[in-house]
Amino acid sequence: MNRPRVLAALATAAPAAVAAAHIIPAASWLPAVRSVLRPALDGRGRADHIALTFDDGPDARSTPHFLRELDRLGVRATFFLEGAAVRRHPALVRRMAAEGHELAVHCWEHQPPWLPRPVADRADLERAVAAVRETAGMTPYWYRPPYGVLTATRWWGARRAGLRPVLWTAWGRDWRADADPDSVLAKVSERLTGGATVLLHDSDRNSAPSSWRATLATLPHLITLCRYAGWTVGPLADHGLAPPLRERPGRGSP
């Protein structure tokens, strides 16, 4: 056996193996995969309930509009927050908590998911958890990664930060420049059934400019549709997923 050739082959194969191990869990991004293998990750909860969730906030330009509309509709939701934005808009985050919304972790800031970054992923999530806890006085429980790409290092980082990953059952593709209320509602409706978790965005920070306006205009129609079907609409905390390993987040939690 040619030892130099073997060592060279191993040196070439090792990075590829690490990269594969890192990215394989991201197959859970595919609804057909996670709905069969990990229904809890798909956000499947109580059959009489719809979990309403928003990503990418808080955003001082747009999130207050969502808070006013949700209050008018009598609905509370789960907001997956960017930790850096929490630090920039603490008063808005405290308002979200005071109005009864559930605060969860999206990231510190959006980062490309493809390269393994175990130390950075863990540090970013721990910083985001601390930002929410110190700002709003509640410890977040849920985690949804940017782009819904749940790599191995993000899984590990979430676990070390005490977070439970959850993706979504139905989304509105509301980040697109061509999104409008009709297209958002139609896309959500494709997979909207009792027990679904709905993904929308309360900010255009990582989306087409002003795309949040289509989402905002969709809300009353979506809530009416759900109520007509006999489903209540609320946060993930009320969705009946498997009980957490620690105390569920809520106002006044340590």
The residue annotated as part of the active site, out of 42, 55, 59, 121, is 55
Tell me how far apart the terminal alpha carbons of the chain are, to the nearest angstrom: 61
Sequence-ordered list of residues with C-beta below 8 angstroms from that of 159, at least 6 positions apart, any chain: none
User: 9: burial class by Cβ within 10 Å (0-12, 13-18, 19+)?
Assistant: exposed
The residue annotated as part of the active site, out of 174, 201, 202, 239, is 201
Query: Among this protein's residues, is 204 annotated catalytic?
Result: no
Sign of CA dihedral 52, 197, 212, 232: negative
Q: Are 139 and 48 in contact (CB under 8 A)?
A: no
Query: Among this protein's residues, is 202 annotated catalytic?
Result: no
Q: Are 249 and 102 in contact (CB under 8 A)?
A: yes
Q: Hey, which residues are catalytic here?
A: 55, 201
